[in-house]
Amino acid sequence: MSQTPHAVEARHLVKGYGVVRAVQDVSFQVPRGEIFGFLGANGAGKTTTLRMLCGLIRPTAGTALIDGFDVFAQPMEAKARLGYLDEEPFIHPHLTGREFLDYIADLYRMPRGPERHRRMERLLGLFELADRDGELVGAYSHGMKQKIGLASLLIREPSVLLLDEPTNGLDPRSARLVKDLLEELATRGTTVLLSTHILEVAQALCRRIAIMDRGHLVATGTMEELRTQAGSAQATLEDLFLRLTAGPESSELIERLLAPQP
């Protein structure tokens, strides 16, 4: 493993689509074992940044490093250490859950044998999918797809997890399970970069938080640092988020919508 102290490092990432700049000069580092929150409004550039970090999108400029390995210059080394869960998990609809996990384990060259089998069964049990044998992943509900997606990451124990809305579609019990699991993984040294719209989850889990707005990283830091940056000692994460991603206040918007038409 590389000796760099940062598990994830974004260096001046830029992504442009023609004249549109989806991500502009985004830089941050995430030390090992940290849960790092990634917040932003819809279309702020969170998913594009995550996809650049995991190698799905090549940046127009800048570098993405995972455990010190450049995702595009040393893709094999970086990908072997990385687990990415999309907001709509990538699955193979015609495989069963067990076959899908087996497929992923083989793709990442995990050793075969009873240990891998036991791990697979434990994960299927943990996510309440063990009794779904014979059921195809394509027919799973959204929450179940999310669970099998998470299981497909955890089976190979990556050192870095990039998660885009991991609790999306999960029932409260499963969402709690995922939160507890992430905390436990972080204490064992796994680095988690968590993109979410659920501010309570971010506030409860993340040591540091980055907020994106229209392609820019507008703030990064702990809750205290963000409060100082926003100049409000008592502000909640929701207040900070709304202040840093400034737009018309919701009360103003509602008033405009419901105002009698001339």
Partner 1 sequence: MSRSAVGIILRAEWRAWRNRIAKANPLRVVGLVVFALLGGTVFGGFLFALAAAAGHLLPSARDAMLAGAFTALSVLMLVVGFPSVIATYFAGRDLMQLVLAPVRSIEIFLARSLFAMSANLLVAVVFLIFVAGVGAGSGASPLYYLLALALVFVQVLLVTALQATFMAAVLRWVPARIARDVAVAVASIAGGGLYLAWNLTLRQTLGSFAPRHQPDLSSLVSSLQRIEWVPSSWPGHALSAVIEGNASAALVWTGVTLVFAIVVVGAAALLYERTLLAGLGLLGGVPSRWRTRRRKPPRVAAAGAGSPGFAIARKDWIAYRRDIRRLSRFLPAMIFLLAYAVLLIRPGRGIDLFWNDVFVVAFVSLFMSMMFATTAIPAERRGYQLLRLAPVTSWQLIRAKVLFTLVPVLALTGVISLGLSLAGGNSPWKTLQVALLAVWLGVGCVCIGVSAGAIDPNFESADDRRSVGIVGTFAAMGGELAFGLFSVGALALFYLAASLAAGNAVAGLPVAATPAFAVASVVIAVALAAAGASVVVLMLWLANSHLRGFENSIVSN
Interacting residues with partner 1 (CB under 8 A): 51, 54-58, 75-77, 79-80, 82, 84, 86, 88, 90-96, 98-99, 102-114, 116-117, 121, 133-136, 138-139
Q: Which is nearer to partner 1, 130 or 230 (CB)?
A: 130
Q: Which is nearer to partner 1, 98 or 147 (CB)?
A: 98
Q: Which is nearer to partner 1, 134 or 231 (CB)?
A: 134
- Smallest separation (angstroms) from partner 1 to the CB of 219: 27
How far apart, in whole angstroms, are the C-alpha atoms of residue 96 and residue 148? 10
Q: Which is nearer to partner 1, 53 or 201 (CB)?
A: 53
Residues shown for the chain: 262
Query: For residue 45, which amino acid is it?
Result: G
- Smallest separation (angstroms) from partner 1 to the CB of 95: 6
Q: Which is nearer to partner 1, 46 or 227 (CB)?
A: 46
- Smallest separation (angstroms) from partner 1 to the CB of 121: 8
String of b and e for 63-100 (b: at least 16 CB within 10 Å)?
A: bbbbbbbbbeeeeebbbebbbbbbbebebeeebbbbeb
Q: Which is nearer to partner 1, 103 or 247 (CB)?
A: 103
How far apart, in whole angstroms, are the C-alpha atoms of residue 141 and residue 152? 16
Q: Which is nearer to partner 1, 84 or 241 (CB)?
A: 84
Phi, psi of 78 (to 5 degrees): -65, -45
- Smallest separation (angstroms) from partner 1 to the CB of 88: 8
DSSP per residue over 193-261, as a string? Answer: EEE-S-HHHHHHH-SEEEEEETTEEEEEE-HHHHHHHHT-TT--HHHHHHHHT----HHHHHHHHHSPP
Instruction: Give yes or no for a contact between 58 and 6, defined as CB atoms under 8 angstroms apart.
Output: no
- Smallest separation (angstroms) from partner 1 to the CB of 21: 16
- Smallest separation (angstroms) from partner 1 to the CB of 87: 11
- Smallest separation (angstroms) from partner 1 to the CB of 80: 5
Cα-to-chain-centroid distance, residue 192: 7
- Is 11 exposed, middle or buried, given 0-12, 13-18 or 19+ CB atoms closer than 10 A? middle
Cα-to-chain-centroid distance, residue 61: 22
